[in-house]
Structure 1
Amino acid sequence: MGMNKNTVLGLATLIMIVVGLGLIAIGIFKYREVSAWGFAAVGVGFFAIAWVFNALKGRV
Protein backbone atom coordinates (compact mmCIF):
# COMPACT_ATOMS: atom_id res chain seq x y z
CA MET A 1 0.00 0.00 0.00
CA GLY A 2 1.65 3.19 -1.17
CA MET A 3 0.88 6.26 0.85
CA ASN A 4 0.84 9.42 -1.18
CA LYS A 5 0.18 12.97 0.04
CA ASN A 6 -3.59 12.69 -0.30
CA THR A 7 -3.69 9.50 1.78
CA VAL A 8 -1.61 11.09 4.52
CA LEU A 9 -3.82 14.19 4.60
CA GLY A 10 -6.94 12.01 4.66
CA LEU A 11 -5.64 10.00 7.61
CA ALA A 12 -4.58 13.19 9.40
CA THR A 13 -8.08 14.58 8.88
CA LEU A 14 -9.66 11.44 10.32
CA ILE A 15 -7.34 11.44 13.34
CA MET A 16 -8.00 15.13 14.01
CA ILE A 17 -11.77 14.57 13.88
CA VAL A 18 -11.54 11.65 16.31
CA VAL A 19 -9.36 13.63 18.73
CA GLY A 20 -11.69 16.65 18.47
CA LEU A 21 -14.71 14.51 19.26
CA GLY A 22 -12.83 12.95 22.16
CA LEU A 23 -11.94 16.33 23.63
CA ILE A 24 -15.50 17.58 23.33
CA ALA A 25 -16.77 14.36 24.94
CA ILE A 26 -14.30 14.74 27.82
CA GLY A 27 -15.47 18.30 28.34
CA ILE A 28 -19.12 17.32 28.34
CA PHE A 29 -19.07 14.10 30.35
CA LYS A 30 -16.08 14.25 32.69
CA TYR A 31 -15.14 17.86 33.48
CA ARG A 32 -18.52 19.55 33.19
CA GLU A 33 -18.05 21.89 36.16
CA VAL A 34 -14.35 22.64 35.88
CA SER A 35 -13.16 23.22 32.34
CA ALA A 36 -15.78 22.05 29.88
CA TRP A 37 -15.55 25.25 27.83
CA GLY A 38 -11.80 24.86 27.45
CA PHE A 39 -12.03 21.28 26.24
CA ALA A 40 -14.84 22.17 23.86
CA ALA A 41 -12.88 25.12 22.44
CA VAL A 42 -9.83 22.96 21.81
CA GLY A 43 -12.05 20.30 20.20
CA VAL A 44 -13.51 22.90 17.84
CA GLY A 45 -9.96 23.99 17.04
CA PHE A 46 -9.12 20.42 16.08
CA PHE A 47 -12.16 20.44 13.77
CA ALA A 48 -10.90 23.64 12.13
CA ILE A 49 -7.47 22.13 11.50
CA ALA A 50 -9.08 18.96 10.12
CA TRP A 51 -11.13 21.13 7.77
CA VAL A 52 -7.94 22.77 6.48
CA PHE A 53 -6.31 19.37 5.98
CA ASN A 54 -9.36 18.22 4.04
CA ALA A 55 -9.28 21.36 1.87
CA LEU A 56 -5.60 20.78 1.09
CA LYS A 57 -6.15 17.14 0.15
CA GLY A 58 -6.54 17.69 -3.60
CA ARG A 59 -4.18 20.64 -3.95
CA VAL A 60 -0.85 19.39 -2.64
Structure 2
Amino acid sequence: MNKNTVLGWATLIMVLMGLLLIGLGAFKYNEVAGYGFAAVGIGFFAIAWVFNALKGRV
Protein backbone atom coordinates (compact mmCIF):
# COMPACT_ATOMS: atom_id res chain seq x y z
CA MET A 1 0.00 0.00 0.00
CA ASN A 2 1.37 3.38 -0.95
CA LYS A 3 0.49 6.75 0.60
CA ASN A 4 -2.33 7.47 -1.83
CA THR A 5 -4.03 4.16 -1.05
CA VAL A 6 -3.79 4.84 2.67
CA LEU A 7 -5.28 8.32 2.21
CA GLY A 8 -8.07 6.84 0.10
CA TRP A 9 -8.98 4.31 2.77
CA ALA A 10 -8.74 6.96 5.49
CA THR A 11 -11.08 9.20 3.48
CA LEU A 12 -13.62 6.40 3.08
CA ILE A 13 -13.51 5.50 6.78
CA MET A 14 -13.84 9.15 7.82
CA VAL A 15 -16.88 9.66 5.55
CA LEU A 16 -18.56 6.53 6.94
CA MET A 17 -17.91 7.60 10.53
CA GLY A 18 -19.18 11.11 9.74
CA LEU A 19 -22.41 9.68 8.34
CA LEU A 20 -22.76 7.41 11.36
CA LEU A 21 -22.30 10.28 13.81
CA ILE A 22 -24.70 12.56 11.96
CA GLY A 23 -27.23 9.72 11.87
CA LEU A 24 -26.84 9.17 15.61
CA GLY A 25 -27.31 12.87 16.26
CA ALA A 26 -30.39 13.08 14.05
CA PHE A 27 -32.22 9.88 14.95
CA LYS A 28 -31.09 8.51 18.31
CA TYR A 29 -30.04 11.56 20.34
CA ASN A 30 -32.48 14.22 19.23
CA GLU A 31 -31.95 16.36 22.34
CA VAL A 32 -29.05 18.73 22.95
CA ALA A 33 -26.50 15.89 22.68
CA GLY A 34 -27.55 15.38 19.06
CA TYR A 35 -26.06 18.73 18.11
CA GLY A 36 -22.70 17.59 19.43
CA PHE A 37 -22.84 14.34 17.47
CA ALA A 38 -23.79 16.21 14.30
CA ALA A 39 -21.01 18.78 14.80
CA VAL A 40 -18.41 16.03 15.23
CA GLY A 41 -19.78 14.29 12.13
CA ILE A 42 -19.36 17.48 10.10
CA GLY A 43 -15.82 17.73 11.47
CA PHE A 44 -15.14 14.20 10.21
CA PHE A 45 -16.34 15.30 6.77
CA ALA A 46 -13.95 18.26 6.84
CA ILE A 47 -10.98 16.06 7.73
CA ALA A 48 -11.98 13.55 5.02
CA TRP A 49 -12.08 16.42 2.52
CA VAL A 50 -8.51 17.37 3.49
CA PHE A 51 -7.37 13.74 3.14
CA ASN A 52 -8.95 13.59 -0.30
CA ALA A 53 -7.25 16.85 -1.31
CA LEU A 54 -3.87 15.49 -0.18
CA LYS A 55 -4.15 12.40 -2.39
CA GLY A 56 -1.57 12.67 -5.17
CA ARG A 57 0.35 15.46 -3.45
CA VAL A 58 2.07 13.49 -0.70
Structure-1-length-normalised TM-score: 0.93
CA distance in 2, matches of 1:34, 1:40: 10
* Cross-structure match for 1:8: 6
Rg (Cα) greater in structure: 1
CA distance in 1, matches of 2:55, 2:26: 31
Q: Which structure carries more helix by proportion?
A: 2
Number of aligned pairs? Answer: 58
Gaps of 5+ in 2: none
Structure-2-length-normalised TM-score: 0.96
* Cross-structure match for 2:52: 54
Gaps of 5+ in 1: none
CA distance in 1, matches of 2:23, 2:32: 14
CA distance in 2, matches of 1:34, 1:55: 33
